[in-house]
Structure 1
Amino acid sequence: MLNGKVYPVNSARIPVQNPYILIARHVDDYPEGNGEMAPVEFPRDWQKGNDFTSGRGWNMYHGEYVPGFPAHPHRGFETITYAKNGIIDHFDSHGNYGRYGNGDIQWMISGRGLQHAEMFPLIETEKNNPFEIVQIWLNLPAHKKMVPPSYKMYWHENIPVIKLADKNPDKNFLKVLVGSYNGVQAERPVENSYGYEEENHINVWDGKLEKGERFVIPSYPNDVKVQFYVGDGKFKVDDYLVDRNSLLVYTSDSEITFTAEEDSEFMVFIGKEIKEEIYAYGPFVMNTKAEVVQAYEDFRKNQFGGWPWSSSAPTIPSDKGRFSVYDKGSKTKYPPKKTTSAQ
């Protein structure tokens, strides 16, 4: 039996619950780039840090010139950044950097502390640069909050795609971004992640369904919440109607069937509750206020190792493809050439 509640989604932030701290979906229709990866129509009314309601259909966020988020610190949680459309340049205080996008996932554990920058270079100069990311803040339990930071790429070529109907596989599918579905397993996270232990049931899926098609979510233990977000379309499930820009949060002791009332796009976030106190402020997520105060003090003293880059908003040359430099800048990886097919 489903025990749940539907919440409206009135902004970029999706009102998720424990073990997730924050999930934000940013959608922008960036214009052509000016050859230096900034907007060709540079906004004269832009105010740094206050650009989320510009009315232009795209935002600069905190970037000085190129859109994005220049260097900023984190401690005590992990981020899963799903670059659904567009390009992201990543740099961090451990000398790691790289470019990813168009379906790739970056998984970063902030642990005891690091700085990173996320810039959104506008590569295309002859056409628009559409952009969509979903960034997930996943909490870490107390015994993992001070683990060493880490950074890993999950290339879209390796993400499993499951067919949800016999017809139109491009309109009826599920991407297993994190975790597993019906025995199909995504690449596992690193050992320090809360998602590493299978009993924590950390799953993130992205899917589409045509009107009339169905999608079944299996049962999970009572301390595991299923959070079903509808970005477009409409679903019927038991006595609930989950419309576009809505989030259904529920627990259930049995599998639940969702029926698409319209052609729909959705995401699912699943996880076991972390039964600890949470104190989050700014870029830090700890268990107590004193720990957050200490995080600010540590960052003031040592900058979490400093910032090795010449700019707080570095970018990669526009003619470079996707790659990842990791392990403190000592190793490089590129996307595989093979493509994961529907199953």
Structure 2
Amino acid sequence: MLKGKIYPVNSARIPVQNPFILIARHVDRYPAGNGDMAPAAFPDDWERGNDFTSNRGWHMYHGEYVPGFPAHPHRGFETITYARQGTIDHFDSHGNYGRYGDGDIQWMISGKGLQHAEMFPLIHTDKENPFEIVQIWLNLPSHMKMAEPSYRMHWREQTPVVSLSEKNPAENQLKVLVGRYFATAAQRPADTSYGFDEDHYINVWDGHLKKGEKITMPKFPEDVKVQLYVADGLLAAADYEVVSDSLLVYTSDTELVFTAREDTEFMVFTGKAIDEEVFAYGPFVMNTREEVIQAYRDFEKNQFGGWPWSSSAPVIPSDKGRFSVHDKGSKITYPSDASEIS
């Protein structure tokens, strides 16, 4: 039986629950670039360094020249960044860096602490630079919070896609970004991830259905919440209708079939709850206030390894494609040989 509640999604933040700390969907209609990966025309309606709300359809976020998030620290959780459209340049305090986008997934474990920058270079100068990412903050239990940080790419070429319709498979699909959908499994994360243990049921799926088509949702244990986000359209099951810009959080002791009453774009997030207190403040997610205070003290003391880059908002030259320099800068991987880091 389905037991759930529907929440409205009124902003970029999707109101998810344990074990997720935050999920944010950023959609920006960036203009053409100026040749230096910044907007061709800068907005005159933004507070420099803090541009999260506007009516222009795109944001600079904390960027001063190129949009994005210049160097900032994290401790105690992991991020899964799904670049649905557009380009992201990643740099971190361990010497890792790279460029990804248009369906790629970056999985970063902050563990005991690191700094990173996430910049959104506007590569195209002859057309707009549409952009959409979904960034997931996944909590870590107390015994994993001080693990060694790690960073790896899961390239779109290796993301499995499940057909949800025999008669029209191309327009009814589910991308298995994280975890598994029945027998179809995505790439595994590092063993310091909460998602490494399959009994934690960390799944992230991205799907689309045409009107009248269906998706079967697996049965999960009682302590695993299914969090179904409808970005556009309408999905219905039992007495529940999940409309555009809403989130259904539920548990069920049986498989469920959801039907698309309209053409629908949706995402699913599942995970076993972490039965611990959470104290999150700024860029740190710990169990107690004292641990967060200690994180700030440690960062002031050692900068979590320092910042080896010449800028707090570095970007990769615009003529470079997708790649990953990882394992503290010792290895380089391209999408064509992505199996090296799977």
Common fold, TM-score beyond 0.5?
yes
Offset at residue 336 of structure 1 (A): 1.8
Alignment of 1:156-195 (within 5 A): 156-195=156-195
**Aligned equivalents of 1:276 and 1:171: distance in 2?**
41
CA distance in 1, matches of 2:244, 2:127: 29
Letter of the 1:10 counterpart? N
Q: Which residue of 1 aligns with 2:237?
A: 237
Per-residue CA deviations over 1:175-211 (Å, capped at 9, x if unaligned) read 0000011201101111000000010000000000000
**1:284-340: per-residue Cα shift (whole Å, max 9, x none)?**
0000000000000000111001000000000000000000001111110000279xx
On the 8 A contact 2:230/2:267 being kept in 1, the answer is: yes
Distance 1:54 1:196 in 2: 39
**Cα pair 2:49 2:64 within 8 Å, conserved:** no
- Superposed counterparts of 1:1-343, under 5 Å: 1-336=1-336
Give the distance between the partners of 1:21 and 1:315, measured in 2 at CA: 28
The one-letter amino acid of 2:309's match is: W
- Amino acid in structure 1 at the alignment position of 2:193: S
**Whole-angstrom CA distance in 1 between matches of 2:170 and 2:267:** 16
The answer to whether the 8 A contact 1:179-1:202 is kept is yes
CA positional deviation for 1:171: 1.6
Moved over 4 A (4+): none
Deviation at 1:49, TM superposition (A): 4.1
Give how far 1:102 is off: 0.2
Residue 82 of structure 1 aligns with an amino acid whose one-letter code is: Y
Matched position secondary structure for 1:170: helix
CA distance in structure 1 between the aligned counterparts of 2:54 and 2:14, rounded to whole angstroms: 20
Matches of 1:105 and 1:305, distance apart in 2: 25
| Unmatched 5+ stretches in structure 2 | none
**Mapped partners of 1:318, 1:170: distance in 2:** 32
| Alpha-carbon separation, structure 2, partners of 1:337 and 1:167 | 33
2: CA distance between counterparts of 1:111 and 1:32?
37
- Structure 1 unaligned regions, length at least 5: 339-343
For residues 37 and 75 of structure 2, the distance between their equivalents in structure 1, rounded to whole angstroms, comes to 30
* Greater displacement, 159-168 / 17-26: 159-168
The 2-side partners of 1:212 and 1:108 are apart by: 38
Q: How large is the Cα RMSD of the aligned pairs?
A: 1.1
Residue 117 of structure 2 aligns with an amino acid whose one-letter code is A
- Partners of 1:157 and 1:337 within 8 A in 2: no
1:53 offset after TM fit, Å? 1.8
